[in-house]
Amino acid sequence: MKLYNTLTRQLEDITPLDGKTIRMYSCGPTIYDHSHIGNMSSFIFTDTLRRVLTASGSSVQHIMNFTDVDDKTIKRAAGNYDEMEPMAALAKLTEKYERIFLTDMKAVGNDMAVITFTKATEHIADMQKLVQQLHKDGFAYVADDGVYFSIEAYKKSGKRYGQLADVTTGSTSEARIQNDEYDKESVHDFALWKTQKDGEPAWDFELDGHDLKGRPGWHIECSAMSSRELGQPFDIHTGGVDLIFPHHENEIAQSTAGQNDPIYAKVFAHNEHLMVDGKKMSKSLGNFYTIHDIQEKGLDPLAFRVLVLQAHYRGPANFSWVNLEAAQNRLQDLRALAALRWQPRAVAHDSGTEALEDIPAELANILADDLNTPQAMAYLSRVAAQLLAVHIEKDMVDHFETMLRGIDDLLGLNLSAVQDITDEQKELIAQREQARAKKDWQSSDKLRDQLAAQDVGLQDHPHGVIWFPLR
């Protein structure tokens, strides 16, 4: 497939560096609170990318990290569980939000089984090793409050800082420099390791005779975990656009300093932000939503997936409740399509229903072009309209099922999970048809309402009634 690479600012063919497996690392959540829908849209992008890469014939090794130690987690843990030891409080907090995160991820259709999750706190030794190596090679220095990476030294070694975004050459605000409280040599230097402050969780660390008991910096976490799990260079690094600088830039610097190979990850793929009512989500604006909020309004988290897939990952998508309802309607239509699997009938043959199994292939083809999910959704809607108009025949059920699974493999909409209704419900539909035949409208309407209350919707087509799941 072709994918846009932030490093080169162009579309590139993705083929495994090792010829077999695409190794992909995604910056995961900081588990100090509920993930918001913006985070989720980013992970829907990542999940869909993995699906399409897989469909294009590569095996994919997908790593996602949990940032379970950083300023935010530490602060929140101390606030929530002030009676506990810092380390225990941190674990308690992050375990809670990890669970919620995994639940939300499943709810929006992301395939959790194929992701290997790594935690920062389980890779402290790897991080320390990397810091030690950087120090030994002259790229890190010890300051009062921790260990810093020297961008100066990195540049002097012949490497380029600013491969993703050349921020340092811009006019950085002087105010920032003056307000800087850290004891670092240059404003742009960043912390590799932070020494312990009162009440903070900390790990023993000795470097060059200094006792640096403390915790890792944010950027080093991803460098250490990615190289531990995937080696270096690996194929694709994903994240939201906000991570381009400084996070990913710093990862590149840390991971390539002193290395012969200047490549950390071959391709960086970044998704644009999800906007809410045209604005960036923030707690102060009161437009900060979670998957839980969507569920509370009686809307389906998978409708949120549809909303995300309707937009291209490199453009900003706009979330609003009206738009989510529109997406929910669209999802319902796709589920009506899926429900045909349980209600085949003999109808006049129609050319549109023939090559059912080619449909996922066409979908994959569309998606292989820089993950063009909006085009894919448009195609799917056309297919759905066509098939709903003609139904499917009994001998097509197997092909139809294969088609649904193929669509799900690519888009994660769980269409093949649409189950048959019960015999009782089928009986109610039959009774309604009889009532209609007898023009007993009162009874037929009552039966329709009764079915709707059981989340079974009805479409009266010229060639007969079709039921579909309302949720």
Partner RNA sequence: GGCACGGUGGCCGAGGAGUUAGGCAAGGGUCUGCAAAACCCUGUACGCCGGUGCAAAUCCGGUCCGUGCCUCCA
397 binds RNA (CB under 7 A): no
Q: Site for RNA (CB under 7 A): how many residues?
A: 90
**Which residues neighbour 341 within 8 Å (Cβ) at sequence distance 6 or greater?**
392, 397, 400, 401, 404, 416, 418
Nearer to RNA (CB atom), residue 228 or residue 448: 448
> Which residues between 2 and 21 bind RNA (CB under 7 A)?
9
CA distances from 364 to 113, 367, 411 (A): 21, 5, 10
Q: Nearest approach, Cβ of 345 to RNA (angstroms)?
A: 15
> Which residues between 201 and 230 bind RNA (CB under 7 A)?
217-218
Q: Nearest approach, Cβ of 40 to RNA (angstroms)?
A: 8
303: tokens are: 């409708």
Only one of the segments 56-64, 339-347, 398-406, 459-467 lies at the binding site for RNA (rule: CB under 7 A); that segment is 459-467
> Which residues between 168 and 197 bind RNA (CB under 7 A)?
169-173, 176, 186-191, 194
**Which residues neighbour 421 within 8 Å (Cβ) at sequence distance 6 or greater?**
342, 456, 467
8: tokens are: 């080169």
Judge residue 151's burial from the number of C-beta atoms within 10 Å of its C-beta, 0-12 exposed, 13-18 middle, 19 or more buried. buried
233: tokens are: 């260079």
Per-residue contact string for residues 291-330; x = within reach of RNA by CB under 7 A: ----------------x--xxx-xxxxx-x-xx-xxx-xx
Nearest to 225 by CA among 93, 113, 128, 89: 128
Backbone angles phi, psi at 263, to 5 degrees: -95, 125
Q: Nearest approach, Cβ of 19 to RNA (angstroms)?
A: 30
Only one of the segments 86-94, 113-121, 124-132, 273-281 lies at the binding site for RNA (rule: CB under 7 A); that segment is 273-281
Q: Are 312 and 269 in contact (CB under 8 A)?
A: no
Q: Give dist(CA 444, CA 450) in Å, integer.
A: 10
Q: Give dist(CA 418, CA 279) in Å, integer.
A: 35
Per-residue contact string for residues 66-95; x = within reach of RNA by CB under 7 A: ----xxx-----------------------
Nearer to RNA (CB atom), residue 8 or residue 59: 8
> Which residues between 336 and 355 bind RNA (CB under 7 A)?
none
Nearer to RNA (CB atom), residue 229 or residue 272: 272
Only one of the segments 80-88, 223-231, 396-404, 453-461 lies at the binding site for RNA (rule: CB under 7 A); that segment is 453-461
287 binds RNA (CB under 7 A): no
42 binds RNA (CB under 7 A): yes
Alpha helical stretches, state H, 203-277 = 218-230, 249-256
Choice from 114, 385, 417, 430 touching RNA (CB under 7 A): 385
Choice from 211, 420, 445, 455 touching RNA (CB under 7 A): 445
Nearer to RNA (CB atom), residue 30 or residue 54: 30
- Residue 308 carries which DSSP code? H
